[in-house]
A and B are shown apart, each in its own frame.
Chain A
Amino acid sequence: MKNDTADLKDETYLQVRNVTKKFGTFTALKDISLDVIEGEFVCFLGPSGCGKTTLLRAIAGLDIQTLGSVYQGGKEISNLPASERDFGIVFQSYALFPNLSVNENVGYGLVNIRTSKSDIKDRVTELLSLVGLEDQGDKFPAQLSGGQQQRVALARALAMSPGLLLLDEPLSALDAKVRVHLRHEMKELQRRLGVTTIMVTHDQEEALTMADRIVVMNDGVIEQVGTPEEIYGHPASPFVAEFVGTMNFLKATKGDNENINLGAHTLSLDDEEKAKLNGADVLACVRPEDIVVRGVDANTENSFDATVLDLEFLGSFCRATLTYGDGDVNLNADFSINLVRDKGIEVGGTVRIALPANSIHIFSAG
Chain B
Amino acid sequence: MTDQTMSSASPAIVKPKLSRDDWVMRAFILVIGLWLVVTLVMPLYVMLSKSVQNKDGFFIGLSNYIEYFSTPALFYSINNSFFIAFLSTAISISLASVFAFILSRSTIPGKSVFKNIALLPLLAPSLLPGISFVYLFGRQGVLKGLIGDYSIYGPIGIVMGEVFYTFPHALMILIAAFSIADARLYEAASTLRTNRIRTFFTVTLPGIKYGLISAIFVVFTLVITDFGIPKVIGGQYNVLATDIYKQVIGQQNFEMGAVVSVVLLIPAILAFAVDRFVQRKQVAMLTARAVPYEPKPHAIFNRFFFLYCCIISVMIIGTIGMAGYASFVTFWPYNLELSLNNYDFDVMDGGGWGSFYNSLEMAAYTAVIGTSVIFTGAYMVEKAKGFGIVRGIIQFLCMIPMAVPGMVLGLAYIFFFNHPDNPLGFIYGTMPILVIVTIAHFYTVSHLTSMTALKQMDPEFETVSASLKVPFFRTFLKVTVPVCLPAILDISIYLFVNAMTTVSAVIFLYSSDTALASIAALNMDDAGDVAPAAAMCMVIVATSASVRVVHALLSKGISAKTQKWRTR
Contacts and interface: CB of A to CB of B under 8 A. Distances in A.
A and B touch in the complex (CB under 8 A): yes
B288 interface: yes
A60 B14 contact: no
B11 A68 contact: yes
Nearest to A162: B467
A197 interface: no
Contact of A95 (B19, B22, B464, B568): B464
B568 A112 contact: no
Contact of A142 (B14, B458, B568): B568
B565 A142 contact: yes
A142 B566 CA distance: 7
6 contacts: A69-B14, A81-B22, A89-B467, A100-B479, A109-B468, A156-B464
A71 interface: no
Contacts of B460: 91, 93, 95
A324 B365 CA distance: 84
A288 B84 CA distance: 73
Interface string B459-488: 011011111111100110011001100000
Given A66-B14, A91-B460, A160-B468, 10 more contacts: A81-B17, A81-B18, A82-B467, A83-B19, A91-B458, A95-B458, A99-B483, A142-B565, A142-B566, A173-B288
Contacts of A18: 7, 11
A85 B564 CA distance: 35
A62 B463 contact: yes
Interface of A: 18, 60-62, 64-69, 78-85, 87-89, 91, 93, 95, 97-100, 108-109, 111-113, 140-143, 156-157, 159-160, 162, 173
For the complex of A and B, the 8 pairs showing the least CB-CB separation, nearest first, are: A109-B468, A81-B19, A140-B565, A95-B460, A82-B466, A64-B16, A83-B466, A83-B19
A21 to B, nearest CB: 10
B468 A95 contact: no
A78 B15 CA distance: 9
Contacts of B567: 142
Contacts of A98: 479, 483, 565-566
Interface string B176-208: 000000000000000000000000000000000
Contact of B478 (A60, A97, A109, A140): A97
B228 to A, nearest CB: 41
Contacts of B146: none
Given A79-B16, A89-B467, A99 B11 contact: no
Contacts of A66: 13-14
Nearest to B479: A97
B521 to A, nearest CB: 42
Contacts of A159: 468
B474 A84 contact: no
B21 interface: yes
Nearest to B20: A83
A29 to B, nearest CB: 12
A64 B14 contact: yes
Given A68-B11, A108-B468, A82 B458 contact: no
B398 to A, nearest CB: 25
B527 to A, nearest CB: 53
Nearest to B289: A173
B562 interface: yes
Given A62-B463, A89-B463, A83 B14 contact: no
B564 A140 contact: yes
Given A89-B463, A99-B482, A100-B479, A141 B565 contact: yes
A242 to B, nearest CB: 29
A111 B479 CA distance: 14
Interface string B536-568: 000000000000000000000000001111111
A95 B13 contact: no
Contacts of A68: 11, 14
A117 to B, nearest CB: 16
Contacts of A83: 19-21, 466-467, 469
Interface in B431-470: 458, 460-461, 463-470
A18 B7 CA distance: 10
B468 A156 contact: yes
Contacts of B458: 91, 93, 95
Nearest to B562: A99
Nearest to B467: A89
B17 A87 contact: no
Nearest to A57: B463
Contact of B469 (A89, A93, A113, A156): A113
Nearest to B483: A99
Contacts of B7: 18
Contacts of B474: 112
A157 B14 contact: no
B20 A99 contact: no
Given A140-B564, A140-B565, A89 B464 contact: yes
A78 B11 CA distance: 13
B463 A82 contact: yes
